[in-house]
Amino acid sequence: MTKEKLRDAFFEVFGGTEEPVLVFSPGRVNLIGEHIDYNGGRVFPCALTMGTWFAGRKREDKLLRIYSENFKDLGIVERSSEALSCDPDKGFTNYPAGLIWTFRKNGLKIPCGMDVYLSGNIPYASGLSSSASVEVGMGLLLSELFGLEVLPEDIALFSQYSENNFNGLNCGIMDQFVIAMGKKDCAVYLDTASLAYEYAPVKLEGVKLVIGCTNKKRGLTDSKYNERRAECEEALSLLQKAADIQSLCELSLTDYEDLAFLLEKENLKKRVRHVVSENERVRKAVEALRQGDLELFGKLMNESHVSLRDDYEVTGIELDTLTEKAWKVEGCLGARMTGAGFGGCNVALVKDEAVEDFIRAVGDAYKEKIGYEAGFYTAEIGDGVHVM
């Protein structure tokens, strides 16, 4: 969306003459490293050119008015900007409201209400981080509107805190961090334990990133996401009886094999095996990309999906159908689920000349087995959140 279209859309909804602040906040796709950002692991996500557009301006009263082009039927949703709490009846507005709540908890002054317009092209509930896109975008909007000196890293941390404590999802830091810190044509190699990071150029010469969306709607707080995190915390407490570790990803595969006897429950053994092996796959995948070895990178993507399917058990028939069919299509170097799972999206590396055949073959197989169509997007890697 251009600045002019965004500005015009804001005035059409809210009227007035005072110019709004304009912000773009991307979605993200994680190339590899799933369900380890809350286990102290290394992840490898990138920001996308699809995302959420914001236009906002301050009001003279305490009223918070939010309109989303994606939920037109709701009209302008009004709520007080004071004494905020997560209200199920307020739907998507809980995400921007949570940022106001979090900013104030951190001593930052938000003295008045505001009018906020949103429009996004991230498929809803797709696993491409629409909620984190809204959170980080709102964080930058608040910073700009109220003249607050908040670093991008802090906006990421505030956004994660809001999702954990206002909206009730125990997510890790990955989504918010890459949306805040993303860089065009690069992925972020992030150590989630220390927040140390580096940019790794993603040179996909002759290859496209193709995202397949299952179109299965799911809410993460209603899924087994929090259950998986609780299982990892239980396993960590048991392993700490014999190992001086603060997170599961401090373990090597050899360490895991030596200590697995402490995990009497089979489900805990499987969860830890995924976490430790996935952390190792990320290291190998980043090195493969640096060497220009896309074939190896694709192979590691495939292994990641198998681990998420068999050991972490977060895929389901929709994601497995999309991904396992992708593996069989000539020209596909690798494919895996991305995001939290339980629906959402997968991501595939596909040779340029094979993209059309790939989408047709995988799409046909998916509709035949699942009964409804998948969506496909050729993704480009873009910059993190920014003022337009």
% residues pLDDT > 70 (the chain): 97
What whole-number distance in Å separates Cα of residue 255 and Cα of residue 251? 6
In a domain, 305, yes or no: no
Predicted pLDDT at 252: 97
Predicted pLDDT at 124: 64
DSSP 294-320: HHHHHHHHHHHHHHHHHTS----HHHH
125 confidence band (pLDDT: 50, 70, 90): low
Whether residue 203 has pLDDT greater than 90: no
In a domain, 42, yes or no: yes
Respond yes or no: is residue 175 known to be catalytic.
yes
Distance of CA 385 to the CA centre of its chain: 14
Q: Are strands 63-68 and 114-120 parallel, antiparallel or unpaired?
A: parallel
In a domain, 176, yes or no: yes
List Cβ<8 Å contacts ≥24 apart for 225-234: 225/169, 225/170, 225/171, 225/314, 225/340, 225/342, 226/169, 226/170, 228/35, 228/271, 228/312, 228/314, 229/38, 229/170, 231/267, 231/268, 231/271, 232/38, 232/39, 232/271, 232/272, 232/275, 234/268
In a domain, 365, yes or no: no
In a domain, 266, yes or no: no
Q: What is the DSSP letter of 173?
A: S
* pLDDT (average), residues 234-260: 97
The per-residue pLDDT for range 56-67, each reduced to its tens digit, is 999 999 999 999
Whether residue 313 has pLDDT greater than 90: yes
Whether residue 221 has pLDDT greater than 50: no
Residue type, 340: A
Predicted pLDDT at 352: 97
Give me the catalytic one of 175, 244, 258, 311. Answer: 175
330 confidence band (pLDDT: 50, 70, 90): very high
In a domain, 183, yes or no: yes
In a domain, 36, yes or no: yes
Whether residue 257 has pLDDT greater than 60: yes
Domain CATH for 108: 3.30.230.10
Q: Which domain holds residue 25?
A: 3-202
Predicted pLDDT at 220: 52
Predicted pLDDT at 170: 80
In the chain, how many domains are there? 1
Whether the model pTM is above 0.75: yes
Taking a C-beta distance cutoff of 8 angstroms, is the pair 175, 163 a contact?
A: no
In a domain, 276, yes or no: no
Of 216, 215, 218, 212, nearest in space to 325 by CA: 212
Whether residue 206 has pLDDT greater than 70: yes
Predicted pLDDT at 216: 86
